[in-house]
Amino acid sequence: MMTTTNRQAEILTPPAANGSGPIEHPAPFSTSLSTRNLTLAYDETTIIAGLTVSIPRGQITALVGPNGSGKSTLLRGLARLLKPRGGTVLLDGVAIQSIPTRELAKQLGILPQSPVAPEGLTVRELVAQGRYPHQGWLQQWRSEDEAAVNRALAITGMTELAERPADELSGGQRQRAWIAMTLAQETELLLLDEPTTFLDLAHQLEVLHLLEQLNQAEGRTVVMVVHDLNHAARHAHHIVALNGGEIVAAGPPAEVITPAILRSVFGVEADIVSDPRTGAPFCIPYGLYSAGLI
């Protein structure tokens, strides 16, 4: 029997035209996402002030940092869910606030933390919501819409559960259903806020492998808030470490997951070793950092 992960890999990596093997990694999508002097706040509390950052195209970027560091706030700002108090978010050099909502939803998909589907909505109906940006006011459901929904279900391994109520699924299945909805939007950028929260280890790996496959097979740009540093190091190409609403470090995992940066960002002492499978940095925390005293 083929496992879900194998089914996903088969769908995402079809054979080459000559039958010699998998297709080559596609060129990354061209859409760029960045901020310029971005300031974000809730009521009178400023969380991020004057932040400038560029998201690498066609890569997986992980936002990491302690609770309250501003990583989820930054993601909300990038997704236009939080209006800037200053500065701007740029999509292909255009201020994101000036882009019509429907047009923005064709380019950028967002999966918030712990989304809740309306009671009784089936998985297929939930995934079909992702086609909203492609529907005109009087436009009927098209064959292209049906194909996009079916493909999203297949990629995420949810075809067999398509007629099940979404609120009856396990945590991992629900998360895959929501990811399928964002895939049905057919956007170049996917933004996810803690996509593995409340999932057991197996389902965490399932979701992370799915995102990795989407990036590798289609060149989609993925930005995700991640708590587990080792997950970030293994599955992301680029890591942005925040603390106090500021970027402390940004770059490849080997440049960000270091003892010095972990002291500065998380206040912990840790040994960093090489992941035996990937060669990525692997963090082993062993104590709290307090003025150099453990």
- What's 134's DSSP letter? G
Q: Cα–Cα distance between 255 and 231 in angstroms, integer? A: 16
Residue corresponding to tokens 């960000």: 256
Residue corresponding to tokens 């106090």: 244
> What pLDDT was estimated at residue 172?
84
Return phi, psi of residue 4, to 5°.
-55, -45
Least reliable range by pLDDT among 2-6, 87-91, 123-127, 211-215: 2-6
Q: Cα–Cα distance between 193 and 198 in angstroms, integer? A: 12
> What pLDDT was estimated at residue 138?
60
Domain limits of the chain? Answer: 4-107+187-257, 117-183
> What pLDDT was estimated at residue 29?
57
Least reliable range by pLDDT among 7-21, 127-141, 227-241: 7-21
pLDDT, the chain, mean: 85
Whether the predicted pLDDT of 18 surpasses 50: no
Q: How many CB atoms lie within 10 A of CB 143?
A: 7
Average pLDDT over residues 86-99: 94
Alpha helices, DSSP H, located in the chain: 4-12, 71-78, 101-105, 123-128, 143-155, 171-184, 201-218, 229-235, 253-256, 259-266
> What pLDDT was estimated at residue 212?
92
Average pLDDT over residues 196-209: 86
> What pLDDT was estimated at residue 241?
97
Whether the predicted pLDDT of 203 surpasses 90: no
Structure-block tokens of residue 274? 């090489």
Residue corresponding to tokens 């925040």: 242
Q: Does domain 4-107+187-257 have CATH number 3.40.50.300?
A: yes
If one compares 139 and 16, the residue with the highest pLDDT of the two is: 139
Decide if 232 contacts 196 (C-beta within 8 A): no
Average pLDDT over residues 207-212: 90
Average pLDDT over residues 144-161: 91
Q: Quick one: what percent of the chain has pLDDT higher than 90? A: 57
Establish how many alpha carbons lie within 13 A of residue 165's alpha carbon, considering only the half-sphere containing its beta carbon.
Answer: 7
Q: What are the pLDDT digits (tens) for 39-91?
A: 999 999 999 999 999 999 999 999 999 999 999 999 999 999 999 999 999 99
> What pLDDT was estimated at residue 52?
96
Q: Give the pTM.
A: 0.83
When pLDDT is cut at 50, 70 and 90, the band that residue 226 belongs to is very high
Whether the predicted pLDDT of 9 surpasses 80: no
If one compares 123 and 23, the residue with the highest pLDDT of the two is: 123
* Residue 4 backbone class (left: φ over 0; alpha: ψ -120 to 50; beta: rest): alpha
Structure-block tokens of residue 215? 């990036």
Q: What are the pLDDT digits (tens) for 233-262?
A: 999 999 999 999 999 999 999 999 999 999
- E-state strands within the chain: 33-42, 45-55, 60-64, 86-91, 94-95, 108-111, 189-193, 221-225, 238-243, 246-251, 268-274, 281-288
Q: Cα–Cα distance between 181 and 225 in angstroms, integer? A: 19
